[in-house]
């Protein structure tokens, strides 16, 4: 796990703006992600989502690629946990399923599907985000969305517990899910696809 202090957030957002975060943590596994979350909890830093419940003022938050994320010039007083290295990819060809870590870029996921002769993720090829953010907001484009191909997601709560939530449990709607409301974030997700022609 890599931990940086006073890390310029301009390095981690697609808009290339943003002042320094007090701490920037990059876990490389689910175990390290849990350790980072529990460390923040021990330090009295609830998830940013809880800030609006006015529990305390010093938050942490989880990000992926930083696309569509704006950080003020004054920075972020707390801890940013980045899922960028949770980038495992597993193709279960016999079942037409791809399992991807939260940090996998959607473009890589879509290209992997095409290479494996699986269709259903073409819409995601041009979305500049990661699997984690895409599940959180039910990302979509060109007439399709995550809801149409997502099978399940492993999600972590603020105590570091991981549970599997099926598509229908995630309450996926137009650019929304129940994850933000419940203070959960994606660790990995599975996508159910169909055989297709890579040339098409």
Q: What is the pLDDT of residues 22-59, one digit of tens each?
A: 999 999 999 999 999 999 888 766 555 443 333 344 47
Distance spanning both ends of the chain, measured CA to CA: 41
Backbone angles phi, psi at 140, to 5 degrees: -160, 165
What's the pLDDT score for residue 31? 97
- Beta strands of the chain (E only): which ranges? 2-8, 20-26, 60-63, 76-82, 89-92, 97-101, 118-119, 140-141, 144-145, 150-156, 162-166, 185-192, 194-195
Residue 64, pLDDT score:
93
> In this structure, what token pair is assigned to residue 159?
């105590």
Sign of the dihedral defined by the CA atoms of residues 86, 27, 8, 71, in that order: positive
pTM: 0.90
pLDDT in tens, 125-140: 999 999 999 999 999 9
Number of other CB atoms surrounding residue 155 within 10 Å? 27
Question: Distance (Å, rounded) from C-alpha 184 to C-alpha 164?
Answer: 11
What pLDDT is recorded for position 50? 40
Q: What's the pLDDT score for residue 151?
A: 98
H or E segment and range at residue 112: helix 106-115
The answer to whether the CB of 38 falls within 8 A of the CB of 30 is: no
pLDDT < 50 positions in the chain:
49-58
* 53 class by beta-carbon count within 10 Å (0-12 exposed, 13-18 middle, 19+ buried): exposed
What pLDDT is stored for residue 59 in this prediction?
77
């Amino acid at each position: 796990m890599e931990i940086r202090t006073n890390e310029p957030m301009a390095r981690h957002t697609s808009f290339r703006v943003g002042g320094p975060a007090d701490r920037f943590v990059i876990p490389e596994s689910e175990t390290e992600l849990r350790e980072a979350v529990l460390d923040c909890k021990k330090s009295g830093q609830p998830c940013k989502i809880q800030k609006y419940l006015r529990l305390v003022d010093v938050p942490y938050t989880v990000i992926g690629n930083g696309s569509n994320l704006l950080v003020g010039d004054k920075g972020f007083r707390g801890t940013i946990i980045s899922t960028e290295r949770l980038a495992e990819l597993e193709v279960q060809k016999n079942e037409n399923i791809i399992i991807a870590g939260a940090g996998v870029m959607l473009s890589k996921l879509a290209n992997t599907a095409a290479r494996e002769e699986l269709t259903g993720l073409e819409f995601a090829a041009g979305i500049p985000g990661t699997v984690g953010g895409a599940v959180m907001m039910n990302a979509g484009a060109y007439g399709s969305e995550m809801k149409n191909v997502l099978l399940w997601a492993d999600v972590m709560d603020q105590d570091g517990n991981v549970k599997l939530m099926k598509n229908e449990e995630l309450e996926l709607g137009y650019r929304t899910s129940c994850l933000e409301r419940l203070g959960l974030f994606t660790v990995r997700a599975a996508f159910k696809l169909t055989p297709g022609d890579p040339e098409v």
